[in-house]
Amino acid sequence: MYIQQAFKSLHEWWRYLVGFIIIFVASQIGTVPLIIAVILKTVSEGGSIFSIQDQNVLMTVLDSNLTLFLMLLSFAIGLLGVYLVVKYLHNQPFVQLTTSRKKTDWGRVFFGFAVITITTLIATGIDYYSNPEDYVVQFNLVPFIILVAIAVVMIPLQTSFEEYLFRGYLMQGIGVLAKNRWLPLIITSVVFGALHLANPEVEKLGNIIMIYYIGTGFFLGIITLMDEGMELALGFHAGNNLISVLLVTADWTVFQSNSILKDVSEPSAGFDVIAPVLILYPIFLLIMAYRYKWKDWGGKLFGKVEEPIALAEENTQNSTYIE
């Protein structure tokens, strides 16, 4: 079982607290290059460094490709923090944070990637041909090639950091401490969504978009628990962000890029904002459940998390020996 993997490593509560702090600090250190670059650029052009406190201003100070790279760098550093914490603080093989299988199933990763990529391409194509006035083709070969190089390398690092932190580290940590599956699912999903409150999309569309962010957190958590591993979530999250960055951008999104299309329509918080949660995600769940023969939904989503008897006896013996 996926959450039970944590019992094979050092899993005292204080380790997860210290580990989370270390990971948070690492991700914040990763933002320093972006801050320095923006300050240097602003000062060199005679501007005020106080103006960069506005995120919209910060996004326009540097070239969009450079901004994207530096923004994603913080996630890459955060992912390194996760790896070091898991390896040295918990003495846990990284594969056990990834999956309950003996090795990572890359077929599952690519399937999750393909599901959202194909869906996004089809949906965007239909909308483009139905409402061509809402888009501007801004394809520029050289900036786009640079964007592809950055995105292909850095986006998977960004999404993997979020998945390993929420669906991996915190899911397992809260699970072994709470001894159940539903609490880590709820906490990680809500916190994952809440962290998007600072995104410019929330300011533009309103708090209703939080249904999408939190709903996405629940979807990724559910497929992780049902599949006893993060592979599907890793692929899905990477595909969603990668195709979004390369295909369509807008002035009000968190990632503004040299994508193929630019959405120039006036955004509105309609049914389309929550449609993925209410329509697409249930369909994706059915497809994945059929393909991977998922059973015992109640047990896997709401069941207890118990330490395997063999491990419990081994830990007791080791503790007695040490004393």
Of 226, 241, 203, 231, give the one whose Cα is nearest residue 293: 226
Per-position DSSP letters for 154-205, written without gaps between them: HHHHHHHHHHIIIIIIIHHHHHHHHTBSHHHHHHHHHHHHHGGGGSHHHHHH
Of 55, 51, 34, give the one whose Cα is nearest residue 42: 51
Rg of the chain over all Cα atoms, to the nearest angstrom: 21
- Please give the pLDDT value at position 246: 96
| pLDDT above 80: residue 304 | yes
What is the CA 274 to chain-centroid distance, rounded? 18
Terminal alpha carbon distance of the chain: 31
- Please give the pLDDT value at position 198: 83
d(CA 211, CA 276): 10
Share of the chain above pLDDT 90, in %: 74
| pLDDT above 50: residue 149 | yes
Strands 261-263, 248-249: parallel, antiparallel or unpaired by DSSP?
parallel
Mean local confidence (pLDDT), 199-203? 85
pTM metric for this prediction: 0.90
What is the CA 254 to chain-centroid distance, rounded? 14
- Please give the pLDDT value at position 45: 65
d(CA 293, CA 298): 15
Summarize pLDDT for 239-264 with one digit per residue, the tens. 999 999 999 998 888 888 899 999 99
Weakest mean pLDDT among 25-29, 216-220, 304-308: 304-308
Q: Are 167 and 221 in contact (CB under 8 A)?
A: yes
Summarize pLDDT for 88-141 with one digit per residue, the tens. 999 999 999 999 999 999 999 999 999 999 999 999 999 999 999 999 999 999
| pLDDT above 60: residue 191 | yes
What does the mean pLDDT of the chain come to?
89
Mean local confidence (pLDDT), 225-237? 98
Distance of CA 161 to CAs 58, 110, 164, 319, Å? 23, 18, 5, 34
- Please give the pLDDT value at position 317: 46
